[in-house]
Amino acid sequence: GAGVSQSPRYKVAKRGQDVALRCDPISGHVSLFWYQQALGQGPEFLTYFQNEAQLDKSGLPSDRFFAERPEGSVSTLKIQRTQQEDSAVYLCASSPRQANQPQHFGDGTRLSIL
Amino acid sequence: KQEVTQIPAALSVPEGENLVLNCSFTDSAIYNLQWFRQDPGKGLTSLLLIQSSQREQTSGRLNASLDKSSGRSTLYIAASQPGDSATYLCAVSNQAGTALIFGKGTTLSVSS
């Protein structure tokens, strides 16, 4: 079966624009995670969904970041009024259940803010 | 706040050598620990997952150990190959199992 799919693979935006990043998890996976990875760093947790419920959004850096998963499958991470420090790779991961299951990662969206 | 440290940051070895990558974490209250591989421009591939009650896991030439009380894990790679060249990331899961906290990774280069 297909893995986690993210689109677009690359996104360039001007400072102040809004962007939307999409994640298609593996079919049937209950849990979905978003991470932000800066250059040369490990990924940092942003938010977690179990089905359509956003159970943990403690890692979202500001109220400009918003994530949703309305039907419990596809998820969208939206960043409003982008700033240069938002430039990073945004990784999505999914897993079959909440705990003790490996997370399967997509290839990420590389976001560059000019 | 949980912090994960990986040593060394980079490692270069000749093909065939056995090697050890180190990971330490500050809070022993973890749900599990995972080792990942990341190739340039790609996402992460899960290599091994060790539950908090386990001491080690093995997959092929890879062996990972976990000493929760001392906050340490090691990834042992036997008979390294050029195809093993990548960045290896260690991550611990918070107690709820809802988030992974990553180290910065060890970038491995295996020369033929």
Which pLDDT score, from 0 to 100, does residue A1 have? 53
Contact flag B42-A107 (C-beta cutoff 8 Å): yes
Task: Measure B60 CA to nearest chain A CA, in Å.
Answer: 17
Residue B41 has pLDDT above 70, yes or no: yes
Q: What is the mean pLDDT of residues A64-84?
A: 97
Instruction: State CA B75 to chain mean position distance.
Output: 5
Contact flag A105-B44 (C-beta cutoff 8 Å): yes
Strands B106-111 and B10-14: parallel
Residue A99 has pLDDT above 70, yes or no: no
Helix (H, G, I), strand (E, B) or coil at A66: strand
Residue ranges in B18-78 assigned as alpha helix (H): none
- Other C-beta atoms within 10 Å of A91: how many? 25
Which pLDDT score, from 0 to 100, does residue A98 have? 60
Which pLDDT score, from 0 to 100, does residue A101 have? 81
Which CA distances in Å does B59 have to A12, B6, B41? 39, 21, 25
Tens of pLDDT, residue by residue over B57-76, are: 999 999 999 999 999 999 99
Residue A102 has pLDDT above 90, yes or no: no
Contact flag B43-A108 (C-beta cutoff 8 Å): yes
Strands A44-50 and A53-56: antiparallel
Task: Measure B49 CA to nearest chain A CA, in Å.
Answer: 7
Task: Measure A57 CA to nearest chain B CA, in Å.
Answer: 10
Q: Which residue of B has its CA nearest to A38?
A: B104
User: What share of chain B in percent tops pLDDT 90?
Assistant: 86
Considering only CA atoms, give the Rg of chain B: 13
Residue A97 has pLDDT above 90, yes or no: no
